[in-house]
Structure 1
Amino acid sequence: MQTYKTPHWTFYSANNELIYSDGKSIQLAARHNACLLALLEAKGEAVDYDTMLLKVWGTQFRDTNTIASVISELRKQINCGDPSLKYIVTIPKKGYRFNNFEEVETLQESISHPKKNSNRK
């Protein structure tokens, strides 16, 4: 799995963790984690509803309102309280896209996680 870093947060997909630039961290729910990962893996391309349903829920038999609800919650988590940050945009009648992909640095998972090494002497 990859680690993704923006100027505002770092996302550790392997353990569902989002660490903000101020050091605070949250555990993302599994669906939020899978949704964010699907958007980041698309590298700025749109992710259509069917693809999102398959990647997050493993099915295509859900209402698009289900996706919209998860996207809404995810936007609140990754926008860090700043409404001017538009990381996720809606592509009408198609799906969603991670808007500021040029800000994302993709790191290898082998880079040490700050909390993993905090207990070592």
Structure 2
Amino acid sequence: MSLGDELRYLRAFHGGLTHWEVEDAAGVPRGTLRGLEQRYRRVGEDDEVLARLAAYYGVPLEDLQFRRERYRKALSAYLYQAQESGQTARFRLRTGERVSGQVRWWDLGAFGLEAEGEELTVVQRHAVVDWEESQ
């Protein structure tokens, strides 16, 4: 799950406040949270901003820093490479479950995995915490 996806999840989990409400409460410049939540590339370079958001949401700073490296375009590159090479792709989900299989298709919201002898499993991208290359 990317940093943006995690921040969206945390905002929803904490009552669905607006970006401005969270930014004001956390002491970060207006427009920052929206920018972090909506980008597909690596974001969140300012550790001070991440520290303020982590404190506001009550999560370890390290969790947000880790997710900074798991940005959406990196997942897209992994899915593309796995699909092209035919290698088994492996994922760890927010639930703690691990899933693996051949990538049959992918888009910006989800991807289809097919393990040998099993039906296609559709995985929502925002549910992915990590993938094989960093495990």
Using the size of structure 2 for normalisation, the TM-score is 0.24
Say which structure, 1 or 2, has more relative contact order (CA 8 Å, 6+ apart). Answer: 1
Q: Is the radius of gyration larger for structure 1 or structure 2?
A: 2
Using the size of structure 1 for normalisation, the TM-score is 0.25
